[in-house]
């Protein structure tokens, strides 16, 4: 069973990262402005290449706010930062799929690729979800061409589901019975 109230308080730290639920409505105007600027720089063409169209071409504060409002309405949105730093290096998205399943999305800024942050982030998330019993399963969809994301999910022991879409492959992690990554 998904515990939406607990998801709203999603916060955890790993060795190098801090992940915090974004509460846009309680932020100061300066914090909101900073967040919107970070969204614009984070959602570069290479970062969003394999993501849905509404992630693309976010170039103005207005477009960033529209994207952010959509993400907040569709998911529990968390920022990913280096420990002790204020700037955001990525996002985690969790949204309810059914009574027991949450959909997972994540992205990291390109300068932070190939440094182990993705596996550290997902390993920490899986440990936190298991510990707090937020959901029974996590499912992540990956564009078939996104080899790095497919390898990352496999590395942290997500299991590929039978393909029923030519462009996207779905991976599942059973929080109740799967081995720890």
Q: How confident is the model at residue 172 (pLDDT cuts 50, 70, 90)?
A: very high
For residue 142, what are the β-bridge partners?
A: 169
Contact criterion met (CB below 8 Å) for 19 and 11: yes
Query: For residues 96 and 129, what is the distance between their CA atoms, to the nearest angstrom?
Result: 13
CA 24 to chain centre: 17
Q: How confident is the model at residue 1 (pLDDT cuts 50, 70, 90)?
A: very low
Residue 49's SS3 state is coil
Q: What is the pLDDT of residue 179?
A: 56
Q: What is the pLDDT of residues 103-117, one digit of tens each?
A: 999 999 999 999 999
Residue 63 has pLDDT above 80, yes or no: yes
Q: What is the pLDDT of residues 130-163, one digit of tens each?
A: 877 777 899 999 998 899 999 999 999 999 997 7
Residue 145 neighbours by CB under 8 Å, 6+ apart: 50
- The superfamily CATH assigns to domain 4-174 is Gcn5-related N-acetyltransferase (GNAT) (3.40.630.30)
**C-alpha distances out from residue 117 to 20, 31, 36, 68, Å:** 15, 24, 22, 23
Query: Where are the domains positioned within the chain?
Result: 4-174
Mean of pLDDT values over 44-55: 94
**Angle, CA 39 vertex, CA 22 and CA 74 arms, to 5°:** 50
Contact criterion met (CB below 8 Å) for 109 and 121: no
* Pair type for strands 76-82 and 168-174: unpaired
CA 47 to chain centre: 13
- Work out the mean pLDDT of the chain and round it to a whole number: 88
Query: For residues 132 and 114, what is the distance between their CA atoms, to the nearest angstrom?
Result: 29
């Amino acid at each position: 069973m998904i515990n939406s109230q607990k998801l709203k308080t999603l916060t955890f730290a790993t060795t190098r990262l801090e992940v915090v639920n974004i509460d846009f409505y309680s932020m100061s105007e300066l914090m909101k402005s900073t967040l919107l600027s970070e969204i614009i720089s984070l959602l570069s063409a290479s970062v969003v290449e394999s993501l849905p169209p509404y992630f693309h071409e976010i170039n103005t504060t207005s477009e960033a706010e529209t994207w952010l409002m959509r993400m907040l309405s569709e998911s529990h949105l968390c920022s990913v930062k280096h420990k002790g730093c204020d700037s955001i290096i990525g996002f985690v998205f969790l949204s309810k799929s059914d009574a027991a399943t949450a959909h997972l999305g994540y992205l990291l800024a390109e300068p932070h690729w190939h440094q182990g942050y993705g596996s550290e982030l997902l390993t920490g998330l899986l440990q936190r979800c298991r510990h707090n019993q937020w959901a029974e399963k996590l499912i992540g969809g990956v564009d078939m061409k996104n080899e790095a994301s497919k390898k990352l999910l496999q590395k942290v022991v997500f299991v590929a589901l039978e393909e029923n879409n030519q462009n996207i492959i779905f991976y599942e992690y059973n929080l109740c019975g799967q081995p720890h990554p």
